Amino acid sequence: MKVTWVFAALVLSCSVSASALDAATTHQQTMQHNLMPLPASVTFQEGRLKIDSSFTIAVTSYSDARLQAAVDRMARRMERRTGIEFAPSLAKDSSKATLVIQCQVAGKEVPALEEDESYSLEVTAQRADLKAETVVGALRGMETLLQLVAGDREGYYLPLAKIADNPRFPWRGLLIDVSRHFQPVEVIKRNLDGMAALKLNVLHWHLSDDQGFRVESLTYPKLHEMGSDGHYYTQNQVREIVLYAQSRGIRVVPEFDVPGHTTSWFVGYPELASAPGPYQIQRRFGVHDGAMDPTREETYKFLDKFLGEMATLFPDAYFHIGGDESNGKQWKSNPKIQAFMESKGLKDKDALQAYFNQRLLKILEKHHKKMIGWDEVLHPDLPKDVIVQSWRDVKYLHATAKQGYNAILSASYYLDDMAPASDYYLADPIPPGSDLTPEQAARILGGEACMWGEEITPEMIDSRIWPRLAAVAERLWSPQTAADVQDMYRRLATVSVRLEDFGLMHNSMPESLLRRLAGTQDPGPLRTLWEVSNPVTLGIRETTQTTPMTHMVDATVPDPVSRREYQAMVDGLLSDAPQLRTYREELAEKLAALRDLPLPMSAIIDRSPILRETEPLVREASNLGEAGLEALSYLSAKLPPPAGWEQAELAMLKEASKPKAGMSLAVVDSIRLLIIAAGQIDQLQISTPEEWKNHVREMTDEDMRKRGHKDQQ
């Protein structure tokens, strides 16, 4: 990546608060922009192209309805941002236009893996030129242009820039599971808008599972009629979504997961199963025994007709057949299936599943589709144009590429791990120093973030996806060298706010849910607790499909700002040895608010029993606040704490680290650092401040190692 700062004083970012976080980043960034994903090459120059009501847009060379609709959407977004009304139609005379968009060809009629998404953008003081080979390339460039729009006392403008850009990986996706919890059309649409803004190009739509079958089938209507609780997409709605995605240069890859994860199919068609019915929609999550019977010809006739119908509804070249977590229990307990395996020489469940996949592959080929499946489908008998999606471990990704298959990475991008954006950001599909040959590396097509549906509702799904998905988007689009975590977080904050333009509710949901939980306009102390809480990774909470997702944990967001804010403050404080003054007051104020939570929280809990489950978390948050304040007072006084204090506080932290009511406290690690620093204060007298800080860090690391502690989420 080439980033050249020609004019170092130009500051484009608008910082929302003068917090410790901002202070930590501004010293290293004099020239800031909010481009995300970072372009392959970008150069800025002094000067600006003003945006006012005389701003006009012209399209030269190739044009079509898709391009014109996209230009119109861009203009409206720019209008909404700036409040300036532009000319309602395109400029006739391109030589006088402010923005000239020039692309050569339509590109693929249906967005495709092979699409050319490259573009260049040059902004001079006279005009902006966006050039692309294809319409999709132009769409990507328009998103960059919108991210460049900046404002200051003189008004809105584009900075002078020269950008040449293209993606590192051609497959950059998001899986949305609509089976465990249904997501209405508008939820999918607003997320497609967000994806397009971050240059993502695949919606992997997980449409069926044990808990729901979500597409209308005219061939086998009992699938959606009996398997969906009435929550499914009509075929017209599917077409509407596919077109909406297409117009944004996004492919839609449907997944109908087989042979396992199929209980919802069996409600209407029990004869497909390997054990007799009747079946009901599964409300519990996890792996269930229901699996299609791979030994009956009727199963393949059914799949042929069904997939034939779906193949016309979903125009993408690829079709996802799932293939994950088929436990083989129903196969094992069915004597007919066991006899079939023996007659065919299929030695185990994996061999039987490979046989099933072979049959399925023939059906897909008949309907002109290429197959993609989860990494369990990997088998020497599969042809090499099958794509394998690695979800169990990154190691499967490289093994797949080494065996000659195309592969995409999801294992590192499970959004329901509720991990910090930085974890996803730093997970490279082809890490530096990888032992893949260039040919093998070229088989890694990219990756997909996964938003599994167990614990999401239409109200809070956005908060589980955004803004962290933008970090994945950058990993998959930008050059490998884009790896500055602090700068990623800085840009992410701006991206997050701009995503609200599409109606995405990741920022607005928490306040609304907290208000309802507290039953008051101002959730007060509940917000203080919310700030330091992180939802736990999927699978720790005990939920089913019918659990109301309106608990405190559902209002919390993964990777809360407080985690990095506390880190920055504690780091600032310890770096200021031996004075230890920097951020001391700010930290003390925050810690006191935590310490003092129990009383006001108990008043809220008395009104809202739904919050009673948070009592243990409130107690731990208060303990953390108290311990942090004590540590601060020892540090301020440069007095060692009494014997046993450090050990007692670390034992308390161990308790405080455990999830409660589906939440963990995001600031535990920072408090640990404070406690250990206080415990080591006498070392400060005998070493330089730098040595002391290193010593404290070593002690903290050792404490974490002793506890087998994974970095706090």
Q: What is the DSSP string of 86-125?
A: PPSS--S-GGG-SEEEEEEE---SS--TT----EEEEE-S
Tell me if 325 contacts ligand ACM by CB under 6 A.
yes
Pairing of strands 251-258, 318-322: parallel
Dist CA 235 CA 625 (whole Å): 54
Contact indicator for 70, 139 with CB cutoff of 8 Å = yes
CB of 260 to ligand ACM, least distance (A): 9
Q: Which long-range contacts (CB under 8 A, 24 or more apart) does 240-247 make?
A: 240/185, 241/185, 241/188, 241/189, 241/192, 241/205, 242/313, 242/314, 242/315, 244/189, 244/192, 245/111, 245/192, 245/203, 246/66, 246/110, 246/111, 247/66, 247/69, 247/70
Q: Which of 517, 538 has the CB closer to ligand ACM?
A: 538
Name 156's bridge partners.
Answer: 51, 151
Contact indicator for 258, 303 with CB cutoff of 8 Å = yes
CB of 402 to ligand ACM, least distance (A): 21
CB of 374 to ligand ACM, least distance (A): 5
Largest interatomic CA distance in the chain: 81
Give exposure, 334-368, as e/b (b: 16+ Cβ within 10 Å): beebeebbeeeebeebeebbbbbbeebbebbeeee
Q: What tokens were used for 198?
A: 């971050």
Q: What 3 state SS string does 261-306 have? A: CCHHHHHHCHHHECCCCCCCCCCECCCCCCCECCCCHHHHHHHHHH
Build a one-symbol-per-residue string for 367-386: x at contacts with ligand ACM by CB under 6 A, - elsewhere: -------x------------
Q: Which of 142, 291 has the CB closer to ligand ACM?
A: 291
Task: Using CB under 6 A, pick the residue from 79, 240, 304, 324 that binds ligand ACM.
Answer: 324
Tell me if 394 contacts ligand ACM by CB under 6 A.
no
Tell me if 423 contacts ligand ACM by CB under 6 A.
no
Q: What tokens were used for 151?
A: 């404002």
Dist CA 314 CA 307 (whole Å): 10
Q: Which of 116, 324 has the CB closer to ligand ACM?
A: 324
Write out the catalytic residue numbers.
325
Contact indicator for 567, 669 with CB cutoff of 8 Å = yes
Dist CA 484 CA 707 (whole Å): 29
Q: Which of 41, 327 has the CB closer to ligand ACM?
A: 327
Sign of CA dihedral 205, 206, 211, 214: positive
CB of 324 to ligand ACM, least distance (A): 4
Q: What tokens were used for 595?
A: 């310490």
CB of 376 to ligand ACM, least distance (A): 9
Tell me if 539 contacts ligand ACM by CB under 6 A.
no
Q: Which of 287, 651 has the CB closer to ligand ACM?
A: 287
Q: Which of 111, 558 has the CB closer to ligand ACM?
A: 558
* Number of residues engaging ligand ACM in binding (CB under 6 A): 4
Q: What tokens were used for 69?
A: 């609709």
Q: Which of 305, 392 has the CB closer to ligand ACM?
A: 392
Tokens 């404080």, residue located: 573
CB of 206 to ligand ACM, least distance (A): 9
Task: Name which of 355, 342, 410, 367 is nearest 175 in CA terms.
Answer: 410
CB of 377 to ligand ACM, least distance (A): 11
Q: Which of 450, 621 has the CB closer to ligand ACM?
A: 450
CB of 407 to ligand ACM, least distance (A): 14
H-type alpha helices, 2-64: 20-26
H-type alpha helices, 454-550: 461-465, 468-477, 485-498, 509-518, 525-531
Tell me if 391 contacts ligand ACM by CB under 6 A.
yes
CB of 539 to ligand ACM, least distance (A): 11
Residue 599: CB partners within 8 Å, gap ≥ 6? none
Q: What tokens were used for 400?
A: 């797949």
Q: Which of 354, 499 has the CB closer to ligand ACM?
A: 354
Q: Which of 413, 566 has the CB closer to ligand ACM?
A: 413
CB of 645 to ligand ACM, least distance (A): 45
Binding site for ligand ACM (CB under 6 A): 324-325, 374, 391
